[in-house]
Amino acid sequence: MLFKIVSLFLIAMAALALFGRLRFPDSLRRRLGRRLDKPAVCAKCGRYIIGSGGCDCTDPPAGKG
């Protein structure tokens, strides 16, 4: 009985996947084909810049030093 339920569930999932591919054939290709931009790196020290603030080597945070 459990095998029958699991097999029906898997068949239903496969049918939904086929209908989804027929409806949106290029959505997966567009999603995988997208290229990500390179992360921002400080020109002075080479560290990654996180957020919009800037790097600690050129603009030290308040309260330090």
pLDDT digits (tens, 9 = 90+) for 20-57: 877 766 665 666 665 667 888 888 888 888 888 778 88
Residue 27 to residues 8, 18, 32, 41, Cα–Cα distance (Å):
27, 13, 9, 32
pLDDT value at 2 more than 80: yes
Higher-confidence position of 33 and 16: 16
**CB contact at 8 A, 12 and 4:** no
Confidence of residue 58 (pLDDT cuts 50, 70, 90): confident
Query: Would you state the structure tokens that stand for residue 47, as one six-digit string?
Result: 């560290």
Give me the pLDDT at residue 30, please.
62
